[in-house]
Amino acid sequence: MRPILFLDFDDVICLNKTYGGYDALEALGKVQKGEVIVSDFQHIWDVLFDKEAVANLRLINDEFKPIYVISSSWARFMNVHAVKAVLFHGGLPFVCANMR
């Protein structure tokens, strides 16, 4: 049986120092409209999630292989596809692959 990890974003992996959830959502909206491509927002994806928090989460992932449940307020204003896109582009593809 795999452990379940409830993952919040704000003040956990996203410290909102430069960019936050609304910035990521706005970027994805522009991509969806065909105005730009995802890589045009690399400056957001590179700093959206705190590097140390991501490294710690990766260690937990590698050791315990958890199933992730998103318990973030971001899930209220993003659908599951948007959440997965933000996680993937923000450097957390292992969370996307194990979300339920």
Backbone torsions φ then ψ of 10, nearest 5 degrees: -60, 125
Q: Which residue has the tokens 């450097």?
A: 91
For residue 47, what pLDDT is reported? 97
- Paired tokens of 33: 């409209």
Low pLDDT (below 50) residues in the chain = none
For residue 100, what pLDDT is reported? 85
pTM of the model as a whole: 0.91
